[in-house]
Structures are given as structure tokens and as C-alpha cells.
Chains A and B, each alone.
Chain A
């Protein structure tokens, strides 16, 4: 019986540093053979977007990401898993979300990171509001059917 890693989950307004988070999963270990990271950034939608505002459900956001991360840790042999999701106002070029998965071998790390992102999109209680450049106002981003389909890839 191999031990299941304890995921690190953070929901925060401030930025994160990819290098720091990746190092945290390999420091002092000799068994890590692969670290896969995904960083989601705010894009400007061809100049249309001035900023995103991310609303979240405090408490449930941490709990739900924790449940998804725990499931990934059960499903793949990971040595470490970190998920950080920001909230508040985020400008184009800034970070929104980070997933870092570490494992002895690459396949588990790739798949766990991919799984995490698919589930986060549709299950983690965050909502994006777009603030348009100029005086054209703000609107909520609509969920895409594609996101639901992405999540279904992992059903078994």
C-alpha cells in the first residue's frame, strides 16, 4: 500500500510564484521524477477586456478544490499536488490558477494536472465577470458546454 499525498490547496487574492511552488514539491526528495504544472492566465480577448473579476464562495471554494485534489491523489500515484486559485480583480497577463502535480513518472503527473483543471472549471465555485475596455460595461462569463464534456472524459 503506497501512501496518498496530502494536497496543498490555497484560495487567495494575491499572486503566486510557479518556481517556488514547483520547488516545494521536489525539495529534499529523491523519489520525484516528474513535475507537471498548469498556469491559467487572464487574456485580453484581442484588446476587448480590461480586467476579470473573480467572485468565489469562501469556504466552499477551498473545500471543493480539496475534494477534487483528494480524488486525484487517490487516482494517480502522486508524491505532491498543489492547487492555487486567485479571486478578485485580475488584469490581462496576470495569473489566475496554478496546478502543480509531482510523481515518480510523467504520465501520472500529466493526467492528474489535466483532471484537476477539467474539474476545477465546472465544479469549483468561482465566477468570472469581464470588465470591458472603454465604457462598454461588464458581463458574466457564460459556462461552456465544452467544459462539461471535458469533465466527462474522466468518468469511469
Chain B
């Protein structure tokens, strides 16, 4: 699965994107956030308040209960501040 990060999520994790192999029990966006938090202090810091993290699955907004696709790209980012 390709993961892409933006704004302070990208800065805190320290990577713009990465490809990961997810365990079979990571089925939803919420599962993914929990799994990522275990990967190191940088992920823990970036995702310490999971409720503020916004998610897009294949470039469309998704909520934390959404199931993960078989493949594609998942983006994690803070609330948007465009306009």
C-alpha cells in the first residue's frame, strides 16, 4: 500500500511517502492509524491525536471507519486550510 503524507503529518513522520506491507488484520483507516503509531516515535508524534487526522483513499475523502482498498494510495494529512 502506498502512503502519502502532507503538511505537519509529513514533517513529523519525516517522509513524504512510503510503501508498506500491511498485516491482514489492518482492515480500516482506524486500524492503519493504530498500526502506524507502533512504528516509531515519529509516527507516534504525528498521529498522537488521531481524531484530527484527515484521510483520503485514492484521492477521495474517507472517514476513519472506511475499509482499506486492496491496493492504491492512502493519504494522511491535517485539517485543510486552503481557500
Which residues of A are interface residues toward B (Cβ below 8 A)?
40, 54-57, 59-60, 63-64, 85, 96-97, 117, 120-129, 140-143
Contact = CB atoms under 8 A, between A and B. Distances in A.
Interface of B: 4, 6-8, 56, 59-61, 75, 77-83
6 contacts: A56-B82, A59-B59, A121-B80, A121-B82, A126-B80, A140-B81
A55 B6 contact: yes
A18 B82 CA distance: 19
Contacts, number: 71
A63 B59 contact: yes
Chain A at the B interface: mostly helix, strand, loop or mixed?
Answer: mixed
A127 B83 contact: no
Contacts of B7: 55, 127, 129, 140
Nearest to B56: A60
Contacts of B79: 122, 142-143
A125 B78 contact: no
Contact of B81 (A57, A64, A117, A142): A142
Contacts of A124: 80, 82-83
A57 B54 CA distance: 13
Given A57-B56, A57-B75, A57-B77, A125 B8 contact: no
Contact of A60 (B59, B78, B81): B59
